[in-house]
């Protein structure tokens, strides 16, 4: 495969859904507290965050799992939580992920690791951590090893996601790598600390530049120094390869005899939280799907570039990867069947005018439409004129529209609560008080916009014209 063989890369992306991966490592709860800062505290020179919403999601090894499920890969997950509310929350969050077989052991008296990030205007204000870093009791460690070894036999690649919170003790890591080698399974390690002897024999190790420097004691100022450091570790510990992430400088894949350097894929960097987890997940899924190490590394570099362009711990989905590999695919979406073209012709100027105003008011436009059953309940058995799939396809074909969501409920309240938009737009034929969701959107700091209408171009007029 060449560097520019986009067709082969897209086929490789589609193959990720065939992967089966085992993840073993430290699970933590990532909390994001969003709000507005409009004044400084009179008690101390610190900003006051007016909280508008809070989000919780799996972090650490759990974020590797999130990324794997986003790729539609089958995932087994083995980890440990505390017997506390946060542990229960994590168990529910992991259990809610698709295609995951979770084995979350509970340790009595253990405090589940929680990282809370406070964010305003897309910027982190502070991060607060609560954790208790202790090794697992011997019996619990033995049980974890047994479960993980059994799951290893049913999957193609094992990821050891080490955050040094106590789950992946050196002896356990060594045993897992030895067991994988004995049954012919590959191991990818996301390392921590300066002593990597317990990762010896891993197929791929994925440090960032700072971690690689800490493990070798070398200054890594350029590509030759990174290659030298990686090959020193390969010779010392028998690693198959080192994939070193280098932030704005991209990524380097080094083996004992080869080296490849991938340029950074991110156009803008907003948040590096969890980017390493994305890289590990895509690399492991690629290897599990039978891709070469070089192709899997290239896809992981593209995925890492995608997630650092988003605020919060994000994931890269197959469509994101395809769009990144072949941007022209966005234009290709406008090549449609004659049926869809006919339906698009029925989209009247009033709709176009409204959507253009919506687009001008936001960075990403998500259009919500009622499902067919919802329309019938609201407007009678003769509606809708076009089925939901056709209406969604027409809207999705417009350059101004980023996403279309179909909701079965009579109002979009549930969709709004999930998406939490910054701007809610309705036509000026509504008033603020009659806009469904206005109060809810404003409660989390969003605003309501009433867009101007084109005279004589209403949905009712269009329906009458079509019937006539």
> Looking at the annotation, which residues are catalytic?
277
**Residues forming beta bridges with residue 81, ordered by sequence position:** 106
The whole-angstrom distance between residue 173's C-alpha and the CA centroid of its chain comes to 26
**Residue holding tokens 């910054």?**
422
What is the Cα–Cα distance from 175 to 179, expressed in whole angstroms?
6
The closest of 431, 433, 436, 395 to 414, measured between CA atoms, is: 436
Whole-angstrom distance between the N-terminal and C-terminal Cα of the chain?
Answer: 57
Give the up-direction half-sphere exposure of residue 17: CA atoms within 13 A in the CB hemisphere.
10
**Residue holding tokens 């704005």?**
248
What is the Cα–Cα distance from 156 to 185, expressed in whole angstroms?
6
Report the interhelical angle of 223-237 vs 209-216 (nearest 10°). 60
Helix (H) or strand (E) segment spanning residue 297: helix 293-307
Contacts made by residues 228-232, CB under 8 angstroms, sequence distance 24+: 230/254, 231/256
What is the Cα–Cα distance from 281 to 290, expressed in whole angstroms?
14
What is the Cα–Cα distance from 43 to 276, expressed in whole angstroms?
38
Cis peptide before 28 (omega within 30 of 0): no
């Amino acid at each position: 495969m060449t560097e520019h063989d986009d067709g082969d890369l897209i086929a490789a992306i589609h193959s990720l859904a065939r992967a089966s991966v085992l993840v073993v490592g430290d699970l933590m709860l990532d909390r994001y507290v969003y709000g507005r800062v409009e004044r400084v505290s009179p008690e101390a020179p610190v900003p006051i965050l007016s909280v508008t919403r809070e989000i919780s999601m799996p972090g650490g090894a759990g974020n590797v799992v999130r990324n794997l499920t986003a790729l539609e890969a089958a995932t087994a997950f083995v980890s440990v939580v505390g017997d506390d509310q946060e542990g229960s929350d994590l168990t529910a969050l992991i259990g809610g992920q698709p295609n995951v077989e979770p084995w979350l052991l509970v340790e009595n008296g253990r405090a589940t690791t929680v990282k809370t990030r406070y964010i305003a205007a897309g910027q982190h204000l502070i991060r607060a951590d609560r954790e208790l870093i202790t090794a697992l009791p011997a019996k619990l460690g033995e049980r974890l090893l047994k479960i993980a070894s059994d799951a290893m036999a049913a999957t193609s690649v094992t990821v050891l996601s080490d955050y040094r919170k106590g789950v992946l003790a050196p002896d356990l890591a060594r045993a897992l790598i030895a067991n994988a080698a004995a049954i012919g399974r590959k191991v990818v390690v996301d390392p921590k600390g300066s002593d990597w002897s317990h990762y010896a024999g891993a197929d791929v190790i994925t440090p960032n530049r700072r971690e690689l420097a800490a493990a070798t004691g070398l200054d890594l100022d350029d590509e030759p120094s990174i290659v030298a450091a990686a090959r020193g570790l390969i010779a010392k510990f028998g690693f198959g390869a080192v994939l070193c992430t280098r932030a704005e400088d991209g990524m380097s894949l080094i083996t004992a005899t080869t080296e490849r350097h991938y340029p950074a894929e991110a156009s803008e960097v907003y948040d590096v939280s969890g980017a390493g987890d994305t890289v590990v997940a895509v690399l492991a899924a690629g290897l599990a799907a039978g891709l070469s190490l070089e192709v899997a590394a290239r896809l992981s570099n593209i995925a890492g570039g995608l997630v650092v362009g988003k605020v919060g711990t994000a994931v890269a989905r197959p469509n994101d990867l395809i769009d990144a590999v072949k941007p022209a695919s966005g234009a290709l979406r406008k090549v449609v069947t004659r049926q869809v073209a006919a339906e698009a012709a029925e989209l009247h100027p009033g709709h176009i005018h409204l959507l253009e105003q919506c687009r001008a008011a936001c960075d990403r436009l998500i259009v919500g439409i009622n499902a067919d059953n919802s329309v019938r309940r609201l407007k009678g058995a003769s509606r809708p004129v076009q089925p939901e799939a056709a209406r969604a396809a027409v809207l999705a074909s417009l350059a101004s529209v980023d996403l279309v969501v179909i909701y079965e409920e009579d109002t979009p309240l549930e969709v709004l609560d999930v998406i939490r938009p910054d701007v809610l737009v309705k036509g000026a034929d509504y008033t603020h008080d009659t806009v469904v969701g206005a109060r809810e959107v404003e409660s989390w700091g969003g605003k309501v916009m009433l867009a101007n209408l084109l005279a004589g171009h209403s949905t009712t007029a269009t329906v009458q014209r079509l019937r006539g």
